[in-house]
Amino acid sequence: MILFRKIRFLDETAQSLLEGELLVRDGSIADFGTSLGVPDGAEIIEAEGAVLCPGLVDLRASLGEPGFEYRETIASAALAASAGGITTIAVLPDSKPALDDPALVRQIVLRGVETGSVTLLPYGAATRGCRGAELAEYGLLRDAGAIAFTDGTKNIASSRLMRRALAYASGFGLRIVQHAEDVELANGGAATEGARASWMGLPGIPAAAEAIAVARDIRLAALTGGAVHFAHITTAESLDLIRKAKDQGSKITCDTAPPYFDLNETAIGDYRTYLKLSPPLRGEEDRLAVLAALADGTIDAIASDHQPRDADDKRLPFADAAPGGAGLATLLGVTLAQVQSGHLSLAQALALLTSKPAAWLGLDAGKIAKGKPADLCLFHPDRSWRVTAGQLPGKAQNTPFDGRALEGVVLGTWKAGSRVFG
């Protein structure tokens, strides 16, 4: 039994913070209110000024296993997640081997249970081996625990195959998650096409490569009745297409990741490869459009987009370096920065990290309500820390936010009522 006192929290309906107490019993939220009284034997946690929120639900992360253990392992990713207040992670399937077999999907679920600190919900591969040629076994993968289907960091390029994937997945009531980038246009690119890439002599990827992929898949979703989710959306043009499709009632959802609303292409500076991401960082206008879409509800969730890389992947000339940034430990802080700067309300920011992704996954989590599992994150919104590559929790240190000061320190993380961090 744990009694949180002198904390602030948002319950299911509240738009502003309530001050009070919250009681956890048998791994669930038993009660909350302004004053509960102290039950016998309860551990008391007092944290004046701190905010208690549901554990973060991360829609998109690669964890290195199986096949890339030199970058990250499930154990090290779990440490980073707990330090970042994350209690649920949807795991990308483009590992080695890819999660295209029910046994592999089950294995990831079990490895999550073993950590005791984070629930792992694997995506199934949309195509065998994520090779973009033949459909994977959606039914068997779903029954093994797959929550949706995607080829991870690869776009399903063939229109014919994407059409079939959407149609077939709709029979099982599951979504296809797409890395929205026209493969032909993006091929060989290292940065967003434009003046900056031109002067640096970097091969460019036009921002339109994203909108073209989005436009096609919106039409294919309409054609098939399937549901498509666009991962890490980064441009104003794509967001306009998605907004319009949503208004027309299409089964379209999307997420973005912190680098795309916190940084723009100028952050690359002098060929800093930690800033090489896929999709690449965009111009300032696109960054502002992403922020606006977070505020107006066009974007359904903020995901960490955690892509662990080691030094050998990154200490290369920019065009040769592997894209991707570590994101678990900074997900909350970089999102809260937008609350500090007035672009999002705290309720909006937390919903994008908790209740909205949980609802997308169909989970009974991400809310502060009686009887819900006590997956909780306690953070102090006004304390600050500095992101330092080399000193982050977990193995992956390739943060695009190296040197950034963030307000919002995680004081503790609880998984089903057990303290896993802090």
Out of 208, 319, 359, 389, point to the residue binding other proteins (CB under 8 A): 319
Identify which of residues 8 and 71 has a Cβ nearer to other proteins in the complex.
71
Identify which of residues 292 and 319 has a Cβ nearer to other proteins in the complex.
319
Is 271 a binder of other proteins (CB under 8 A)?
yes
Cα Rg, the chain, nearest whole Å: 21
Token reading at 302: 């903020």
Residue 95: alpha-carbon gap to chain centroid: 17
Out of 244, 315, 370, 386, point to the residue binding other proteins (CB under 8 A): 315
Out of 48, 114, 296, 320, point to the residue binding other proteins (CB under 8 A): 320
Out of 260, 318, 401, 421, point to the residue binding other proteins (CB under 8 A): 318
Q: Residue 171 and residue 120: Cα distance in Å, rounded?
A: 24
Out of 15, 184, 270, 371, point to the residue binding other proteins (CB under 8 A): 270
Catalytic residue among 58, 305, 313, 402: 305
Contact range with other proteins by CB under 8 A, out of 32-40, 173-181, 317-325, 406-414 = 317-325
Q: Which helix (H) or strand (E) holds 56?
A: strand 56-61
Which long-range contacts does 9-18 make (Cβ < 8 Å, 24+ apart)?
A: 9/51, 9/52, 9/53, 9/368, 10/53, 10/346, 10/347, 10/350, 10/368, 11/368, 11/369, 12/355, 12/367, 12/368, 12/369, 14/347, 15/345, 15/347, 16/347, 17/51, 17/346
Is 266 a binder of other proteins (CB under 8 A)?
no
Closest separation in Å from C-beta 190 to other proteins: 9
13 contact partners, CB below 8 Å, separation of at least 6: none
Closest separation in Å from C-beta 310 to other proteins: 12
Identify which of residues 159 and 198 has a Cβ nearer to other proteins in the complex.
198
Identify which of residues 101 and 182 has a Cβ nearer to other proteins in the complex.
182
Site for other proteins in 152-211 (CB under 8 A): 193-204, 206
Closest separation in Å from C-beta 309 to other proteins: 13
Closest separation in Å from C-beta 283 to other proteins: 10
Closest separation in Å from C-beta 197 to other proteins: 8
Largest CA distance in the chain: 68
Identify which of residues 67 and 201 has a Cβ nearer to other proteins in the complex.
201
Q: Which helix (H) or strand (E) holds 236?
A: helix 236-247
Identify which of residues 111 and 314 has a Cβ nearer to other proteins in the complex.
314
Out of 12, 43, 312, 364, point to the residue binding other proteins (CB under 8 A): 312
Per the annotation, the verdict on 305 as an active-site residue is yes
Any bridge partners for residue 36, and if so which? none
The CA angle 12-16-18, to the nearest 5 degrees, is 80
Identify which of residues 122 and 283 has a Cβ nearer to other proteins in the complex.
283
Is 390 a binder of other proteins (CB under 8 A)?
no
Cβ-based neighbour number of residue 341 at 10 Å: 10
Query: Among all chains, which residue has been given the structure tokens 């690119």?
Result: 189
Number of residues that bind other proteins (CB under 8 A): 23
Q: Cα(first)–Cα(last) distance of the chain, in Å?
A: 17
Type of residue numbered 232: H
Residue 310: alpha-carbon gap to chain centroid: 20
Is 267 a binder of other proteins (CB under 8 A)?
no
Which residue numbers are catalytic? 305
Residues that bind other proteins (CB under 8 A): 193-204, 206, 270-271, 312, 315-321
